[in-house]
Structure 1
Amino acid sequence: MPNAPSLPTASKLRALLPWRRRAVRREKPSPGDTTRSRLILAMGAFVLVYGTIGARLVQFGLAEPADPAVLGNAQAAIAAARPDIVDRNGEILATDIKTASLYAEPRRIVDPDEATELLGTVFPELGTDATRQKLASRQGFVWLKREITPQQQEAVHKLGLPGIGFLSESKRFYPSGRSVGYVVGHVNIDNQGIAGIEKYIDDQWLGDLHKLGFAMTPNLEPIKLTLDLRVQHVLHDELSSAMERYTAIGAAGVVMNVKTGEVVAMASMPDYDPNNPVEALDPNKMNRASAAVFEMGSTFKLFATAMALDSGKVRLTDSFDASAPLRIGGFTIHDFHGKHRVLTVPEVFIYSSNVGTGKEALRVGQAGQQEFLRRIGLMDKVPTELPEIARPILPKRWSDLVTVTVSFGHGISVSPLATAMSASAVMNGGLLIPPTFFPRSEEKARLMATRVLKQQTSDEMRYLMRLNVLKGSGTRANIPGYRVGGKTGTAEKVVNGRYSANKRFNAFLASFPIDDPQYLVLVVLDEPNPEKPGVGATAGLNAAPTASNVISRIAPMLGVMPRFDDADRPLMVSF
């Protein structure tokens, strides 16, 4: 039998058992082994974390950088520099200030969900699916938020989001706010002029300059306007007070230099703040001074009387029978406060007789009236720089009835600015000068002026205007020392196709000093109410005193000195 391995004896087995027991005990880890294992795990975790961070840094380093062309085009589009706009004395009306806008480069966004969530903590309106979709796209550049505050910029900066950045752009600022809104206008989010003089300068030259790549030009010469900010504030303040005092729904006013056509002030209410141009979308906040037309009422008797005198068919010494209403074309024309007697031409004017004025117009005739109104600029759009200019609404057909109603300001609608332009021609010696919002000398104005009236007609009309303030419907506009001449106008408004007995459009047209007119002031109030119960609401009771308040405050600013002498004595004793 082959040699077989010998089996261990029992004593040998007993000798081996303690060794096995010791081997089993060594397999249980000791406290030192546990600490070592944990240390290894921690080191592995740190290596994993920092390895990931390092990998991301390498990824960012190798990532496609921001496209300079994309950012450059965006910068050029938003940083279009605009010149300051200043008043005639150099006071700033509009200027550029620097602001930041927030953008994203989606191709560099690491986690669109996280970026959206974090941006929403600063701008809740950005924490949306729409923003998430923008950030998840592969576009090179997208806007997130335009014109943010420094505090918002700092908050986003602290988020430390890759692919999110800021561009500096120009934001338009209007220090005088509401008082100049309808003249200066405003810009859009890209600093492009879309209203007022801001739009005009873009249309004339600034827009082309930007298109040619000169958007970053930092030293553009200021644009000087004819506005006097002091006068503008006075006009705005007095119109605001009048709206409150007479609970009117609107008001407007114009102050014009009758010898140059320069608009020294122009305001309309309710107004808007050009720093917050969304207010301009309110339909109630229309520019009543130049962009709206109205039946100007008896202020048109200034033109009807000038027309009659200039035609040679009526003289200042003539008389007209106003003892009874005027019946024409199946209608009856009444006087508001009729004298029921024969009236001289000056009496027709100062008593604001519809009957007498209508008969003056009939003596001139339909064709003569149309020719005169066109000659004096009331049948065409006002030629000026402001974009917001309304065209007049003219009668569709001219009849004797239309001739009569137009003579006292019904049946034809024009803007207050057009009325001021034409009235200036009546006051300045008969020269029609286009109104302007840019400085113009008297010499230049004379070169571009058109003679529309005889000098004698202008002299006679200034006489009648002064007489009306001394003895007629404009007595509440009289200011000692400043020799104001003026004409009231109270027009019934058309409601549902009919003239309303209790809704009016009131106006007062004034010029001073009337012996050598320098300035014209026109104030209009839309639907004024009586100041207190038992008092009327005609123009002589609200528009006239408002114009008086304006003139008494602005005359010293404009260098018109009061004169206390007997210059008015001949007028006061002539009736």
Structure 2
Amino acid sequence: MINFIKECRKEPEDLPASSFMLASRRRREVAMPRHRERFVIAVALFCAIYVVIGGRMAVWGAFPSDGGGYRYVPSQIMAARPDLLDRNGKVLATDIKTASLYAEPRRIVDADEAAELLLSVLPDLDPKTLHDRLSSKAGFAWLRRELTPRQQQEILKLGIPGIGFRTEKKRFYPGGPTAAHVVGLVNIDNQGIAGMEKYVDDAGYSALQSAGLAVDTDLKPVNLSLDLRVQHIVRDELAAAMQRYRSIAAGGVVLNVRTGEVLALASLPDYDPNNPVDALKKENLNRMSAGTFEMGSTFKTFTTAMALDSGLVKMTDSFDATKPIYIGGFRITDFHGKHRPLTVPEVFIYSSNIGSAKEAETVGIEGHKAFLTKMGLLTRMHTELPEVATPGQPKEWKLINSITISYGHGVMTTPLQTAVAAAALMNGGYLIPPTFLPRTEEQAAALAKQVVSKKTSDEMRYLFRLNVADDRGSGNLANIPGYKVGGKTGTANKVVGGKYSNTKKFNAFLSAFPIDNPQYVVLVVIDEPQPEPGKYYATAGMNAAPTVGAIIRRAAPLLKVKPDFGDSGKSLLVSY
């Protein structure tokens, strides 16, 4: 053993050649596995590092971060919305492509220079916010959404590294403000926030968008019940009325009495949904469905219908309107009192507060409240439009409440509900929920609820026509030859500082045509009108009634309502 150890301690040169080669081979055989293992580990680590880097780059490419927890999903900004069309296929809302500006701050070489260059094209950007975004450590940051083509071209010419564009979908409304309150609008992310745009989202589109199923998809257009031609006429005549009568606001609706379809609804002042900066201003409220008002003497329509339908009052009955009514410290009188007994038709055409109050007394407080509830005037209306207000009524109905409500004071409801209730009095007695979508008469019949008898409906049509055709009627300025218009005026004093004002009024004219076989209800409201130059009064008969007449004159031919001029008119047409 000692000799073996000595042999092993010998220097290589002391060993025989054969012994040295054998020892070297053994050392290489021991070392080779260790070198191979280290090499494999190094390669594996190298590959793992690049896999991690590649993975992170892929994640950043798909979900760039702005440093504030933002996660960008490409499908959302390219999500398509279905077109909104009127009943004749005219485009009310559609998508167009637009470019939006973004930055990748990590690639910005000089944030100060980049900010200065961008401000030369987009001077309305906040300089501090822009610089903060460009100098941040984020991977992605929006700078401006929805650029114009000219702005995009000018920014491209600047050639700033780390600045880019993404194509988005932008909503475009060809008609501008024409149907703004019905069509509604979307936000910067193309999501519906008002009107029928919001209805489409709530009806299931937003779920498709969230699921990424609304990208580059040919979505079926949504047809509305609106007739764009009639919508334009209504808005145009309302704008003219506001100017002529120097009012602060106006509104109007055209409703199909057989289907409940809304063919036109406008409220002025309004806004342009292409530039919705004014959409939330208080004065731009949709007064027709989202505002509640005391509707004044138009409510006498429902008081008279209630009295007749109860069976307690007949058309031939009379009510003593000789003297004012005194109740609860209040004096109730007529605007143009006749100071004599009035028949039911006279109560209607002379718009007698005293006569209407006695009609309500005949029916009773509970019957009065039940009738207005049945007509849908005291509860929130259900329709597709999201902007719908809830009517207001007394917590406890007393005799004084019933009397004032009989002529339109003490209850607040929406003008659209008033038109819907009136349609039930014109179509044979059937209350049909309003809709902003196309509906057939068969579909409407399945939803209709009979609220008054056909006899009552016939009698109310007679009174409507009498109030317009008779020179004594308050609505005679709405009389359009050939179309047999009928209706009821309403002039309500507005409440100012807790008291009824003698100067500020909310006027309305509730009408239907052709009255012998009604097809449409037209309601116009005018807020705080002033007398025309040379005239003393600013009552509804002087402003709301002629505005309705102007709308019917222009819209009736488009609605295919044939004029009827009687025998003399037929002879005139034959001569041509």
Structure-2-length-normalised TM-score: 0.86
Displacement of 1:129 in angstroms is 3.0
Say which is worse superposed, 120-129 or 435-444, in terms of deviation.
Answer: 120-129
Q: Deviation string for 1:503-538 (max 9, x for gaps)? A: 111100110010110000000000001011343111
Q: Deviation string for 1:10-48 (max 9, x for gaps)? A: xxxxxxxxxxxxxxxxxxxxxxxxxxxxxxxxxxxxxxx
Distance 2:208 2:308 in 1: 51
Partner of 1:280: 279
Letter in 1 for 2:489: T
The aligned length equals: 506
The yes-or-no answer on 1:163 pairing with 2:162 is yes
Displacement of 1:398 in angstroms is 0.7
Partner of 1:352: 351
Displacement of 1:235 in angstroms is 0.2
Within 5 A, what are the aligned runs for 1:234-245?
234-245=233-244
Distance 1:412 1:64 in 2: 65
Distance 1:340 1:126 in 2: 70
The yes-or-no answer on 1:121 pairing with 2:120 is yes
> What secondary structure does 1:157 align onto?
helix
Distance 1:64 1:206 in 2: 33
Within 5 A, what are the aligned runs for 1:74-473?
74-126=73-125, 128-471=127-470, 472-473=473-474
Displacement of 1:78 in angstroms is 1.7
> What secondary structure does 1:556 align onto?
coil
Displacement of 1:566 in angstroms is 7.0
Q: In 1, are the aligned partners of 2:78 and 2:216 still within 8 Å (CA)?
A: no
Letter in 2 for 1:354: N
Q: Deviation string for 1:118-153 (max 9, x for gaps)? A: 222222244723222212222121100110111111
Distance 1:159 1:214 in 2: 37
Residues 125 and 353 (structure 1), Cα distance of their counterparts in 2 relative to 1, 3 Å cut: closer
Letter in 1 for 2:411: I
Structure-1-length-normalised TM-score: 0.86
The yes-or-no answer on 1:498 pairing with 2:499 is yes
The yes-or-no answer on 1:542 pairing with 2:554 is no
Letter in 2 for 1:159: L
Distance 1:521 1:254 in 2: 6
Distance 1:324 1:126 in 2: 69
Within 5 A, what are the aligned runs for 1:20-35?
none
Distance 1:548 1:127 in 2: 52
Displacement of 1:501 in angstroms is 0.6
Distance 1:383 1:120 in 2: 49
Q: In 2, are the aligned partners of 1:289 and 1:415 still within 8 Å (CA)?
A: yes
The yes-or-no answer on 1:67 pairing with 2:71 is no
Displacement of 1:227 in angstroms is 0.4
Say which is worse superposed, 218-227 or 132-141, in terms of deviation.
Answer: 132-141
Displacement of 1:115 in angstroms is 1.7
In the alignment, structure 1 segments of 5+ residues that lack a partner are 1-62, 568-575
Q: Deviation string for 1:297-338 (max 9, x for gaps)? A: 000000000000011111111110001111222221100001
Say which is worse superposed, 539-548 or 327-336, in terms of deviation.
Answer: 327-336
Distance 2:306 2:58 in 1: 75
Q: Deviation string for 1:271-322 (max 9, x for gaps)? A: 1111111111221111111110110000000000000001111111111000
Displacement of 1:182 in angstroms is 0.4
Partner of 2:522: 521
Displacement of 1:75 in angstroms is 2.5
> What secondary structure does 1:124 align onto?
coil
Distance 1:300 1:403 in 2: 12
Partner of 2:533: 532
Q: Deviation string for 1:167-209 (max 9, x for gaps)? A: 0001111111111100000011111110100011111111001
> What secondary structure does 1:281 align onto?
coil
Q: In 2, are the aligned partners of 1:119 and 1:127 still within 8 Å (CA)?
A: no
> What secondary structure does 1:306 align onto?
helix
Distance 1:449 1:553 in 2: 30
> What secondary structure does 2:362 align onto?
helix
Displacement of 1:424 in angstroms is 0.5
Residues 103 and 333 (structure 1), Cα distance of their counterparts in 2 relative to 1, 3 Å cut: same
> What secondary structure does 2:204 align onto?
helix
Distance 1:231 1:127 in 2: 44
> What secondary structure does 2:72 align onto?
helix
Q: In 2, are the aligned partners of 1:66 and 1:105 still within 8 Å (CA)?
A: no
User: Which structure has the greater CA radius of gyration?
Assistant: 1
Distance 2:104 2:122 in 1: 18
Distance 2:155 2:208 in 1: 34
Letter in 2 for 1:549: A
Q: In 2, are the aligned partners of 1:117 and 1:127 still within 8 Å (CA)?
A: no
Residues 441 and 73 (structure 1), Cα distance of their counterparts in 2 relative to 1, 3 Å cut: same
Residues 476 and 126 (structure 1), Cα distance of their counterparts in 2 relative to 1, 3 Å cut: closer
Q: In 2, are the aligned partners of 1:116 and 1:127 still within 8 Å (CA)?
A: no
Q: In 1, are the aligned partners of 2:92 and 2:173 still within 8 Å (CA)?
A: yes
Letter in 1 for 2:412: S
Residues 158 and 128 (structure 1), Cα distance of their counterparts in 2 relative to 1, 3 Å cut: same
Distance 1:167 1:368 in 2: 63
Q: In 1, are the aligned partners of 2:430 and 2:450 still within 8 Å (CA)?
A: yes
In the alignment, structure 2 segments of 5+ residues that lack a partner are 1-55, 65-70, 569-576
Distance 2:543 2:86 in 1: 30
Distance 1:125 1:76 in 2: 29
Distance 1:428 1:197 in 2: 27
Q: In 1, are the aligned partners of 2:332 and 2:354 still within 8 Å (CA)?
A: yes
Partner of 1:4: none
Q: What fraction of aligned residue pairs are identical, expressed as a percent?
A: 61
Distance 2:541 2:77 in 1: 51
The yes-or-no answer on 1:556 pairing with 2:557 is yes
Q: Deviation string for 1:55-108 (max 9, x for gaps)? A: xxxxxxxx9689331269343222221011010000000011110000011122
Distance 2:462 2:80 in 1: 51
Distance 2:552 2:112 in 1: 64
